[in-house]
Amino acid sequence: MKGKSILIIHLSRLGDTIQSLPAVKLLKEDNLGCSITYVGIRDFCVLIEGIPWIDRLVTIPWQEAREIMGEKKEGHTEVLDRFIKKVPELGEGYDLLINLTHDWSSSYLSGKIDAAEKRGRIFSEHNEIVVSGNWGKYLFAVARNRRDNLLNLVDLYMGMAGVRHRPVIDFLPTDPQRDLLCRSRLKELGADTGRLIIGFHLGANMAARRWPIENFAKLGKDLVDRLDARIVLFGSPGERGLAEAFGRVATFPFIDLAGRTTLAELPSFFRGIDLLVSNDTGPMHIAAAVGTKVAGIFMSVAFFGITGPYGDGHIVIQSAYPCCPCIDTTVCANPLCREGVTPETVFQGVRVGVYPDGTDAVCDAGTVLYRSSFRDDGTMRFEPIGGGGDRFPPWLASFTHAKATIGQTLWNRWLDMGDCATPVGCTDDKEQQADIIADFWNACHSYKAIYARGIHACRKILTEFSKRNPDGGSIRKLADQLSRGEEEIRDLEGPLPILKEIHELCMSEAELCNFPKLAREFLKTYETMAGTIRSFEETLREITPAPARS
């Protein structure tokens, strides 16, 4: 019997491409006999050519992808229509289409492709962008609320694919012969297998996300002196300047492979080292994908919650500055958070990553260390392992993590991840936990009241229209109530910012029409959102009784 025909569109960067692979692998396992077509950017798909769970790999050159992707502009639809005709695979029919790309162009493409079911960001039949499914909505909602989410992008992709969450280990196959050649090359260059081999990736696609070269050099000296490590530099040809700058300040011997390996060789080289220290960038995810431990450095716009390395036992060093992560439009020219991540703290992270059974790490006040592990529900989670005392930045990071942990418990039920027990690893401060939960209860009460008023107004509008002579004045007043309710939601502060985004995404699915049909559309959305609040309250009752209301 022929299985499902599945199309995945993922015209994204290297790291996102790698992070999609576990979901694709599970999709293949869970749909026996299915055929998976994967559309990606050629420059980054070099690493996934020949992967057994992708039946057809359709690749687009980077330059061409840049021309067709992005937001709507003059004549853009004509360009995209020509592109669809140019790629035969996009003209076929599919049982399931999953769009993992975030922009307007991919939404338009997804709307034009023939598929019985579509997930992710797509153009609706009314030429409006909608996000299909709870997992897709959640992914787009957390993009601007990263500190309130603890689910890794890999797990979000699994949710969008509709597969059961479970750990996926070593999910980027490599050629054994190439592995052997790369290990031999490392040995020839002086990387003795009897010594600890630590890789450094100095680059990132944004300067603000690059840890200072001087700090990498100081870390390297500490690793050589204190752990007898051998340091190996990695990087693209465009990052040769960073390697040369490292060489000017380093006071110890190291192996320089920056710009001297191909992207296709990189996974095999990473198999030959013990751990990679990296900024938040694509090679970090490649190392994790082949099972190599990672110590990832996160600062500026980088935040570990979504884009941390996937797998068990990875370490992330996250800036604890209150303004971190910043958004792309407010990045500092010289972010102070980079200076707050000290070489000693990263050294502690590397030590714990290499020797996980040793003592816990101690980090400076400007950072928090987290270690990854898999939870009973099959998702991966980072939990704090190092503290910086009672100073403000680490206290704030602890509070933020506790709030995100409780919030994640609420969202996991909404995402149909089963019953939720008391949040694990939330906080040892019971008074703090009680205050956070009370804030969630208050937020639920606020949203609940708005939705109740909105449902009541919608029903009254429909009742009025059912009369022989509807009262136009009453209808206008009720419509004004709905408008004020939408403003209230936009202005609400509190611990549920993701919910505001979910509300907007649900409202975008409402058909553009006039009353009374518009009242029915609002009613449907408000009843859906009220159901979400009831789910939250049910989960909160399992955690703690509702606080008394004055």
* Whole-number pLDDT of residue 388: 53
Mean pLDDT of 228-236: 97
Asked if the structure places residue 51 within a domain, the reply is: yes
Question: Lowest-pLDDT range, 71-75, 140-144, 226-230, 543-547?
Answer: 543-547
Q: Which of 138, 161, 184 is the last residue of a domain?
A: 161
What is the reported pTM?
Answer: 0.94
Q: Are residues 149 and 208 in the same domain?
A: no
For residues 42 and 118, membership in a common domain is answered with yes
pLDDT digits (tens, 9 = 90+) for 130-176: 898 999 999 999 988 999 999 999 999 999 999 999 999 989 999 99
**Joined tokens for residue 397:** 């990071």
The answer on 198 and 145 residing in a single domain is no
Whether 550 and 475 have beta carbons less than 8 Å apart is answered as no
Is 52 in the same domain as 109?
yes
**Do 245 and 345 sit in the same domain of this protein?**
yes
**Whether 285 and 208 share a structural domain:** yes
Confidence of residue 428 (pLDDT cuts 50, 70, 90): low
Q: Whole-number mean pLDDT of the chain?
A: 91
Give me the mean pLDDT over the 237-243 stretch: 97
Least confident of 69-73, 107-111, 466-470: 69-73
What percentage of the chain exceeds 70 in pLDDT?
A: 92
The helix, strand and coil proportions of the chain, stated in percent and rounded to the nearest 5, come to 50, 15, 35
In a domain, 22, yes or no: yes
- Specify if 169 maps to a domain: no
Residue 56, pLDDT score: 98
Last residue of a domain, one of 106, 128, 161: 161
Within-domain flag for 393: no
In a domain, 548, yes or no: no
Q: How many whole angstroms separate alpha carbon 77 and alpha carbon 68? A: 9
Q: Within a domain: residue 396?
A: no
Shared-domain flag, residues 182 and 157: no
Q: How far is residue 168's CA from residue 27's CA, in Å, rounded to a whole number?
A: 12
Domain end position, chosen among 103, 137, 161: 161
Same domain, 365 and 509: no
Counted domains in the chain:
3
94: CATH: 3.40.50.2000
Outline where 257-391 has alpha helix (H): 266-271, 282-289, 304-307, 336-340, 343-354
Antiparallel, parallel or unpaired: β 229-234 and 255-256 = parallel
Q: Angle 153-161/14-30 helices, nearest 10 degrees? A: 40
Whether 380 and 307 have beta carbons less than 8 Å apart is answered as no
Does residue 200 form part of some domain?
yes
Same domain membership, residue 189 and residue 301: yes
At 359 the pLDDT is 64
Residues 89, 30 share a domain:
yes
Alpha helix locations (H) across 415-471?
430-465
Is-contact 371 352, C-beta < 8 A?
A: yes
H or E segment at 93?
A: strand 93-99
Looking at 30-39, 322-331, 405-414, 454-463, which range is the least confident one?
Answer: 322-331
- Do residues 501 and 144 lie in contact, with contact meaning Cβ atoms separated by under 8 Å? yes
For 314-341, the DSSP string reads: -EEEEE--TTPSPPGGG--SS-HHHHHS
Residues 490 and 538 both lie in one domain: yes
Evaluate if residue 327 carries a pLDDT over 70: no
Q: Confidence class of residue 338 from pLDDT cuts 50, 70 and 90?
A: confident
Residue 140 lies in a domain: yes
Domain that residue 131 falls in: 5-161
Tell me which residue has tokens 């972010």: 335
Q: What is the pLDDT of residues 60-96, one digit of tens each?
A: 999 898 888 877 776 788 999 999 999 999 999 999 9
Cα distance between residue 437 and residue 440, in whole Å? 5
Cβ contact 23:42 at 8 Å: no
If asked whether residues 34 and 116 sit together in one domain, one would say: yes
pLDDT at 1: 46
